[in-house]
Amino acid sequence: MTHLCDLPATEQAGLIRSGELSARELLQASLDRIEATNPDVNAIVTLDAEAAEKAAAAADDAFAAGRLLGPLHGLTLAVKDLHATGGMRTTSGSPAFADHVPDTDELIVERMRAAGAVVVGKTNVPEFGAGSHTFNPVFGLTRNPYALDRSAGGSSGGAAAALATGMVSLADGSDMGGSLRNPASFCNVVGHRPAPGRVPTWPAGDPWYTLGVQGPMGRTVADTALLLAVQAGPDPRAPLSLPEPGRTFLTGLPLRLDGKRIAVSPDLGGAVAVDPEVAAVVDAQAETLRALGADVVRTSLDFTGAEEVFRTLRGLNYLMGLGPLVERAPDQVKQTIHGNVAVGRALTGDDLARAGRLRAALLGRVQAFFAEYDALVLPACQALPFDADLEYPAAVGGVPVEDYLDWMMAACLVSATECPATAVPVGFSDDGLPVGVQVVAAPRDDLGALEVAHALEQATGAGQRRPGLIP
């Protein structure tokens, strides 16, 4: 019998709506699970049980009065420690902000609370979200629940590990170069990178920046779509926000893919090195998709220039956001961030102009590709979960890794396209380590990515396998 904490959030929500489960009962189950498993994985780094108990009581009082607070009524949720939570410590994993307590919630948190979520605390991140391995000098290392000596990925590694172990119903995250997708693949859960503007960000250092987005994570695709329905929708303060309401994603997801034309590529057309076990699992999805009724072609979008676009725009963003801190308190910032800021400082007008031209050409190829295909299935992460004591793997598929972006380039290249992508579990390595794919859809077609991911999820059943450390 499945434990309450391991049920999909959609089933937990159904039990609450039917009156079979109270928000208080679900919260207590979550707190018990946190106590039992968090010492092993270190996923939740700030816990506020008292505030959560007040929120759960308010949800139960509203239900007793015949009122639901919203789609997330009574569900437990932990917020990524990069996102501001009013009255709750928000550190970004940095010694410079170790005691920082914001006055107000940022928009994504405000929306999740308003929808009835019971916020229990914050999930661990790399320092300022830099890197896809979750460790920092404030809270330490987050471990993979499927193998405690391995990385949980990042930067939403705490969120992914908390979901995998059933500590919370749902979790939010953010993604510049794979921070929703890589940890989802490492921890056997689902992470959706929305199209830029789908989940408006406010306040924002650069409101026109499109590489970095915020989005949802869940144990299932349906759970992830449920959270996206709350996070999404326009906001006048976010100039890139898309007009469609969040309820667009409160829809049934298909089990079949008849009539869909889907491309599958284990190595992005040779653009990246991939671990052979990962490539084999990705390649096997071609037959799964055919069995679901799709017309499958082994091919890839041409990612020429995408890496340069990504590195250039990312460097500029780090200079804008963290350059002042690096100047003011250099000893409080890790060296990789110094390096990122240095990349931004070294950029010239010619560099930015070239990146703009490459980006325009890339987006033209994206439009042509998705005029022919409904989705592109790629590895969510090129590597298997690696030794947690390393900052990043030394090689992937026998190819040396030059820097801490190389091994996650499969996600970074997709970020440069501005396409939405859903990371979903589809299998395991010979050693029992999770492997996920990312389903990439046309620009702004978030629902299309979720639909293909859901059909794959249901066909493979890989996401139903929970970590052995769960009591």
Q: What is the mean pLDDT of the chain?
A: 97
Residue carrying structure tokens 């055919």: 290
Catalytic hit among 155, 169, 241, 265: 155
3-class DSSP assignment, residue 364:
helix
The pLDDT, as a whole number, for residue 287 is 98
Cβ contacts of 131 within 8 Å, gap of 6 or more: 154, 155, 336, 391, 392, 404
Rounded Cα gap, residues 233 and 245, in angstroms: 4
pLDDT one-digit tens code per residue, 50-72: 999 999 999 999 999 999 999 99
Q: Is residue 469 part of a domain?
A: no
Structural domain span for residue 60: 4-464
The pLDDT, as a whole number, for residue 224 is 98
pLDDT one-digit tens code per residue, 77-104: 999 999 999 999 999 999 999 999 999 9
For residue 1, pLDDT over 80 is answered with no
Catalytic hit among 22, 169, 174, 179: 179
Q: Is residue 471 part of a domain?
A: no
CATH number at residue 32: 3.90.1300.10
Q: Is residue 219 part of a domain?
A: yes
- 14 falls in which pLDDT band (50, 70, 90)? very high
Rounded Cα gap, residues 100 and 93, in angstroms: 11
- Strand order of the β-sheet with 375-379 is 44-47, 118-123, 76-80, 170-175, 213-218, 190-193, 421-428, 434-440, 375-379, 261-264, 295-297
| Whether the bond into 203 is cis, omega within 30 of 0 | yes
The strand pairing partners of 344, in sequence order, are none
For residue 29, pLDDT over 80 is answered with yes
169 is catalytic: no
Q: Shortest CA distance to 226 belongs to which of 169, 174, 280, 188?
A: 169
pLDDT one-digit tens code per residue, 330-361: 999 999 999 999 999 999 999 999 999 999 99
Rounded Cα gap, residues 132 and 122, in angstroms: 18
Cβ contacts of 310 within 8 Å, gap of 6 or more: 177, 211, 412, 413, 415, 416
- Percentage of the chain exceeding pLDDT 70: 100
- Angle subtended by helix axes 306-328 and 349-372, to nearest 10: 140
Catalytic hit among 80, 122, 260, 334: 80
From the CB of residue 283, how many other CB atoms can be counted at a distance below 10 Å?
A: 17
Q: Is residue 41 part of a domain?
A: yes
For residue 425, pLDDT over 80 is answered with yes
Calculate mean pLDDT across residues 354-381.
Answer: 98
- 458 falls in which pLDDT band (50, 70, 90)? very high
Q: Is residue 349 part of a domain?
A: yes
Rounded Cα gap, residues 417 and 121, in angstroms: 33
pLDDT one-digit tens code per residue, 207-222: 999 999 999 999 999 9
Q: Is residue 381 part of a domain?
A: yes
Q: Is residue 35 part of a domain?
A: yes
Amino acid at 6: D
Residue carrying structure tokens 């000098």: 137
Contact at 8 Å (CB) between 185 and 434? yes
Calculate mean pLDDT across residues 6-34.
Answer: 98
Per the structure block, which two tokens stand in for 272?
């990246």
Contact at 8 Å (CB) between 318 and 344? yes
3-class DSSP assignment, residue 436:
strand
Sign for the pseudo-dihedral over CA of 457, 265, 405, 356 = negative
Per the structure block, which two tokens stand in for 398?
């026998």
- 414 falls in which pLDDT band (50, 70, 90)? very high
Burial pattern 311-321, b for ≥16 Cβ within 10 A else e, equals bbbbbbbbbeb
The pLDDT, as a whole number, for residue 343 is 97
Residue predicted with more confidence, 350 or 1: 350
- 2 falls in which pLDDT band (50, 70, 90)? confident
Number of structural domains the chain divides into: 1
- Percentage of the chain exceeding pLDDT 90: 99
179 is catalytic: yes
For residue 312, pLDDT over 90 is answered with yes
Q: What is the Cα 275 distance to its own chain's centre?
A: 21
